[in-house]
Amino acid sequence: MLINHANYSVPISKLPQLVLETKEDLERTGLKYNTVGHIGDGNFHTLLLFKTDEELQKVKDASHRMVQRAIALDGTCTGEHGVGIGKREFLAEELGAGTVALMKAIKHTVDPLGLMNPGKLCPDDEESESEQH
């Protein structure tokens, strides 16, 4: 059995809505899952279990819906774990293209050779351009 770990954070006042809507969504998928959190800071974690490629696709789809739900509730797709490669595609939606461009500029200034976590902070320029078309 494989596990997908998802982490999202929203303002505390919106956490009950996020957790309830996520639970209802995951119940419809038929996937096995568990949700835990440290509620005091609006942060929760969902573990999605899967065995097959079909279930993996359900996990990916559910994760994307969770990201969009968190962003719509003035939250973040990154929670406490950072962006990584799984959520970087949502950065422009959450933060805006200008903020992502600033992040890239800072990253390039600090790491001009791209040696530190390449591709894990921001979408590559090629990806960003292809997503806009």
The domains of the chain are located at: 2-72, 88-132
Rounded mean pLDDT, 29-33: 92
pLDDT of residue 132: 42
Rounded mean pLDDT, 53-65: 92
Burial class (CB in 10 A: 0-12, 13-18, 19+), 114: exposed
- The reply to whether the predicted model has a pTM over 0.75 is no
Question: What are 88-132's pLDDT values in tens digits?
Answer: 777 777 788 898 889 888 888 998 998 887 777 666 654 444 444
Task: Say whether pLDDT at 8 is over 60.
Answer: yes
- Amino acid symbol at 110: V
Considering only residues 104 and 5, tell me which one the structure prediction assigns the higher pLDDT.
104
CATH architecture of 2-72: 2-Layer Sandwich (3.30)
| Helix intervals (H) in the chain | 15-29, 53-72, 91-95, 97-110, 125-132
Residue 79 pLDDT class (50, 70, 90 cuts): low
Q: How many CA atoms lie within 13 A of 112 on its CB side?
A: 1
Total Cβ atoms within 10 A of residue 95:
16
pLDDT of residue 32: 92
